[in-house]
């Protein structure tokens, strides 16, 4: 019976893509005090910081909230369209994204009604510090997706193991030397087990994180470790694929 290695590759590609997407966002960099005025908000940020009128600061705050709404929509689409997220992780992430959107909507109402510049600037700072869309929510989505992607490959490798074990047993019964094939199969299973062990605790760890945890410096290292564990797990799955191929080749 022929092993469908493209199926393994497809599963690894799922995990690999998700890991790459999270590579630059799970860091322990000290958090900024408020919105940075990046991208679409750069112009209004300059106007607010140079002119400094209430209207200019309000425009800056509204822009920063609007770009976070766009990001939240993108993240919600990623969650709902994921083929690997577990139902519990999907529910948790969907609820978190909705909660952040609700909170930012209320904050926008406050910003739009504020007339005191100092109070307005303090409210605008909360756009970042109160919700951490880019430093926390986005990594949570990508890392949970990546971890569940790793776990999803377990079933694929389980089928490969069954197939190869059957072929080894058949070859051994026919008097063939199957030592090399068995060694490769054992290595594959060990690598998969280790990869799953690294990925399995990640969703619970990262989904428990909060903006206050990021602000205090406790969340960043957890996200960084989660990313490192996923990178290691992906490498183990690539090794497992190579071991499966070596086992197949030894049985030719």
How many Å apart are CA 57 and CA 197, to the nearest integer? 48
C-alpha distances in Å from residue 79, one per residue of 85, 114, 183, 196, 225 = 7, 35, 39, 21, 22
Over residues 17-59, the pLDDT tens digits come to 434 343 333 333 444 467 877 788 999 999 999 988 999 999 9
Q: pLDDT value at position 34?
A: 73
Q: pLDDT value at position 42?
A: 92
Average pLDDT over residues 217-222: 97
Q: pLDDT value at position 95?
A: 98
Which of 42-46, 139-143, 220-224 has the weakest average pLDDT? Answer: 42-46
Confidence of residue 224 (pLDDT cuts 50, 70, 90): very high
Q: pLDDT value at position 33?
A: 60
Confidence of residue 96 (pLDDT cuts 50, 70, 90): very high
How many Å apart are CA 247 and CA 241, to the nearest integer? 10
Q: Residue 12: is its pLDDT beyond 80?
A: no
Which of 29-33, 89-93, 180-184 has the weakest average pLDDT? Answer: 29-33
C-alpha distances in Å from residue 114, one per residue of 59, 119, 121, 163 = 12, 7, 10, 67
Instruction: Tell me the pTM.
Output: 0.86
Closest by CA to 2, choosing from 249, 193, 211, is 249
Q: In whole numbers, what is the pLDDT of the chain averaged over residues?
A: 89
Q: Which helix (H) or strand (E) holds 113?
A: helix 87-113
Q: Residue 169: is its pLDDT beyond 70?
A: yes
Please give the span between the terminal C-alpha atoms of the chain, in angstroms, as a whole number: 12
Q: pLDDT value at position 212?
A: 97
Number of other residues whose CB lies within 10 A of the CB of residue 174: 8
């Amino acid at each position: 019976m022929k092993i469908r290695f493209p199926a393994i590759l497809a599963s690894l590609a799922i995990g690999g893509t998700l890991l790459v997407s999270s590579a630059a966002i799970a860091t322990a960099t000290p958090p900024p005090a408020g919105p940075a005025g990046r991208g679409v908000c750069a112009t209004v940020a300059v106007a607010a910081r140079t002119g400094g009128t209430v209207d200019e600061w309000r425009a800056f705050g509204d822009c920063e909230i609007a770009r976070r709404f766009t990001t939240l929509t993108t993240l919600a689409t990623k969650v709902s369209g994921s083929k690997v997220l577990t139902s519990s992780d999907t529910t948790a992430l969907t609820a978190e994204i909705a909660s952040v959107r609700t909170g930012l909507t209320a904050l926008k109402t406050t910003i739009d009604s504020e007339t005191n510049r100092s109070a307005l600037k303090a409210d605008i700072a909360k756009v970042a510090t109160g919700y951490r869309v880019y430093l926390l929510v986005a990594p949570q989505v990508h890392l949970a997706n990546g971890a569940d992607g790793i776990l999803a490959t377990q079933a694929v490798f389980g089928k490969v193991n069954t197939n190869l074990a059957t072929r080894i047993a058949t070859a051994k019964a026919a008097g063939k030397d199957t030592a090399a094939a068995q060694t490769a199969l054992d290595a594959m299973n060990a690598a998969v087990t280790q990869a799953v062990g690294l990925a399995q605790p990640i969703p619970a760890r990262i989904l428990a994180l909060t903006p206050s945890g990021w602000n205090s410096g406790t969340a960043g290292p957890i996200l960084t470790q989660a990313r490192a564990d996923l990178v290691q797990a992906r490498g183990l799955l690539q090794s497992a694929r190579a071991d499966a191929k070596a086992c197949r080749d030894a049985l030719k």
